[in-house]
Amino acid sequence: MNRILLIDDDKSFLKVYSEILRSSGYEADTASGGPEAMEKLGRDHWDIVISDVVMPEMNGIEVLKRIKAEYPEILVIMLTGEGSISGAVEAMEEGAYTYLVKPLEIDQLLLNIKRAGEFLELNSENQTLRTQISSMEGSTQLIGASPSILNLKEQIAKIAPANASVLITGESGTGKEIVAGLLHANCLNPGGPMVKVNCAALAESVLESEMFGHEKGAFTGAVAAKPGRFELAKGGTLFLDEIGELSPKLQSKLLRVLQEKEFERVGGTRTIRVDFRLISATNKDLKVEVQKGAFREDLYYRINVVPLNIAPLRERAEDIPLLLEHYMDRYSSELRRGKLVFDKEAMEALKNYRWKGNVRELKNLAERLTVLSDGPVITARMLPEEISGQKGWEKDLSQMHYQEAKHAFEREYLVQMLEKNGWNISATAEEIRLARKNLQLKMKQLDIRVPGRQSAE
């Protein structure tokens, strides 16, 4: 149970509300001002501080700044009178978790304390995830602790030092290129080159020139000789991504290179000898392609000496929290945003989603949520409808008190109107017939932040 320190210069207020907190199951203590509060904070551990804004000697904003500087893990809920809303806005800008207006409604106070406790619990869980990621990541980016990923890591460790050809299979977005990179990084000659070719990205004639190179004058535009990817990969690794897209002609030419370890450039007659390790990847079932006559059987066995399969994300849902933690931390750092966490309902929705685009789709969602989130907690209603199964705030209103529902509705309305106007505050204010400065004040009160900025301007 969270430990709460209640700060106010009104002793009768402290007595009444500390008893309310204790009767609700919380460990609660009081301080009659900022100096006494700082003394107690330095002497003992606290999870949540509830402080009045207006106090003699040291006001609530000063207390908040001291807490955020010395005990950043503590959540601070600020209390303000109806006539001093500007102090509450300043408190939010200084890092307060939320603010409540006096006189306090007991249910509202307990609800916000409960949510603050849930936020602390989420932070603790995410700290555990960060520790797990640090221990497993090292120099790799293969994030996960599911049985299939752990088994894949063991296979990579065994296979990497060998020189055998490897065929990596798996759906699009599962991380086949990452696995190829790990195989190269852990081979006997990691200092050698790793050359990549996407077989699906280029037309056949262009791809042939890219792989084999060409001599000067081999075709229109060949103004100089150019080495191909086979030559560039000498002494290292050649990674052929989407190898199932190779035309029959190029399949035949690749087979000869793998068998003979030699080839000629396009338009050339000089035989060039090469030695490289081949790693291939495909999202197709090449056995089926062989049966259909679309892929050469002899080439299939030549590239598939050691097979590696990556399970789709929907079959390893336990990896989703780790992956989200990794990508959200990365994008939050890039955008200079605060720490973002998912509530339990949102995380369950993410675990139950089918993830047709696998890790690539999850990565894109993490970036979008980081850009668009307005507060530290991502809820289910902030997820795309196909993931959450709900439309915005509508599902939650029936479970809220009147003031809370009014706050949620107002915030959602303003966010939608701002999004409609491209987050242009002046255009939005004009459309909703509200003075620009009043819209800015509302945005501060409701903690609505323009994507890419720290606060509404």
User: 123: how many CB neighbours lie within 10 A of its CB?
Assistant: 16
Whether the pLDDT of residue 40 is over 80: the answer is yes
What confidence score (pLDDT) does residue 393 get?
A: 45
What confidence score (pLDDT) does residue 126 get?
A: 56
DSSP lists the bridge partners of residue 6 as 30, 50
Phi, psi of 84 (to 5 degrees): -125, 45
Phi, psi of 447 (to 5 degrees): 55, 50
Question: How far apart are alpha carbons 215 and 16 in whole angstroms?
Answer: 89
Question: How far apart are alpha carbons 197 and 212 in whole angstroms?
Answer: 12
Closest CA to 98 of 400, 377, 412, 406: 377
Q: Give me the helix-helix angle, 320-335 and 344-352, nearest 10°.
A: 120
Amino acid at 242: E
Question: How far apart are alpha carbons 308 and 150 in whole angstroms?
Answer: 13
What confidence score (pLDDT) does residue 371 get?
A: 83
Residue with tokens 């720290």: 454
Q: What is the mean pLDDT of the chain?
A: 85
Sign of CA dihedral 438, 441, 443, 445: negative
Out of 156-165, 212-221, 448-457, pick the least confident.
448-457
CA dihedral of 418, 420, 423, 428, whole degrees rounded to 10: -60
DSSP lists the bridge partners of residue 196 as 239
Amino acid at 9: D
In Å, how far from its chain's centre is CA 27? 35
Domains and CATH numbers, the chain: 3-104 (3.40.50.2300), 147-310 (3.40.50.300), 315-445 (1.10.8.60)
Helix (H, G, I), strand (E, B) or coil at 266: strand
Beta strands in 147-265 (DSSP E): 166-169, 194-198, 213-214, 226-227, 237-241, 262-264
Residue pLDDT, tens place only, 335-381: 887 788 888 888 999 999 999 999 999 999 998 888 887 778 888 88
Question: How far apart are alpha carbons 14 and 107 in whole angstroms?
Answer: 17
Helix (H, G, I), strand (E, B) or coil at 123: helix
pTM: 0.60
> Distance of CA 275 to CAs 123, 151, 228, 278, Å?
51, 30, 14, 10
C-alpha angle with apex 402: 401 to 406, nearest 5 degrees? Answer: 115
Give 327 or 423, the one with higher predicted confidence.
327
Residue pLDDT, tens place only, 76-123: 999 987 656 667 778 887 888 888 888 888 888 998 898 888 887 776
Question: How far apart are alpha carbons 116 and 2 in whole angstroms?
Answer: 9
In Å, how far from its chain's centre is CA 444? 26
What confidence score (pLDDT) does residue 242 get?
A: 94
Whether the pLDDT of residue 133 is over 50: the answer is no
Question: How far apart are alpha carbons 268 and 262 in whole angstroms?
Answer: 13
